[in-house]
Amino acid sequence: MRFLFFLLICLNLSAKEPNLREQIGQMIMVGFNGLSTNDVGVRAMLSDLGYSRFGGVMLLGRNITNKKSLINLTNEIKKRQKNVLIAIDEEGGYVSRLKDASFQANYASAYDVGVSFDINMATNLYAKMAKNLKECGINVNFAPVVDLHFKASPIIGAKKRAYSQNPQKVALYAEIFMNELEKQGVFSVLKHFPGQGEAKQDSHKDKTYANLTKEGLLPFSKLINRAKMVMVGHIFVQNLDEKNPATLSEIVINRLLRQKLGFNGVVISDDMLMRGVGDLPLKEQIIKFINAGGDILLFSEFKIGEKRTADVVYEAINEAINEKKISKERINQSYKRVLKLKEELK
């Protein structure tokens, strides 16, 4: 009788152990097409999510019409997987997804906040934004930008996405942003590590180059103990690693971010479909990101060619494990980091 009881316990415990596909799924976040369950793209996404093909989704402008429809969409997403990450880019200013009047979300850009807002004004702004995101069912915001402001930057400076060229000021306002998101149970994401404000290229379109500076790293250093997630940018940091963008660089992620700055949280890539990630085949990019210490691979599209992105990524990782290019232990490490993060969801 005791043996049977022990056997039942063992079977129950083993049933809860995630298989490799489920572990890899938690390392994938995808975008998708559609606005509601009436759309084929949404139904496909919800189906795959229910089978744990991925552990997070990112919302883009193409998924959002008004506040009511967005709430309905996120409710449906949450039904399919416990503690799914639902992410958005809501920085304020140029980078805003909440454009419809129903959101009442005409938020100032980071640069305008840095120039014109005092601490109380910034707190009120980000408190309103965080509450709005929470009401919409969003639990991850790809913000704040803690890059430094340089006017010549086409993707950061020109679009007013950075608070200031003064790193202390950047850290001050970014922390206010993080505080208000945290109060609402929304994870902030520091970006774009290790700093791409001075880059004169747009990493969406081209290879992007910058140098690591003490000033550029300072906001990350000051806020890293508060951060749960960090997004690594597609930046070739010339004085650290000329061969790899930061996203694929063991020097940048493992040595600088994890060892030197002591970050033990979740590292997410910038969109892996951006041209700034470089010219390597996707499988090699995935291998490098994971071996460098990255945890979540972000893809803005649900499909790559004719295949579903989650299947492409799983097959690449599974092949790499069989080829001994990635260890199962490394996958399990990222899986545990992601699950630990998700345990904090309210």
The catalytic site residues sit at 204, 270
Residue positions counted in the chain: 346
The CA distances from residue 184 to 59, 149, 180, 181, 337, in Å, are: 19, 28, 7, 5, 21
Contact 209, 235 (CB under 8 A): yes
Query: What's the rounded Cα separation, in Å, for the pair 17 and 272?
Result: 29
Q: What are phi and psi of 195, to 5 degrees?
A: 120, 115
DSSP 237-265: ETTT-SSS-GGG-HIIIIIIIIIIS---S
The whole-angstrom distance between residue 144's C-alpha and the CA centroid of its chain comes to 11
According to DSSP, residue 269 is labeled: E
Spell 11-38 as b/e; 16+ CB within 10 A means b. Answer: eeeeeeeeeeeebbbbbbbbbbbbbeee
Spell 111-135 as b/e; 16+ CB within 10 A means b. Answer: bebbeebeeeebbebbbebbebbbe
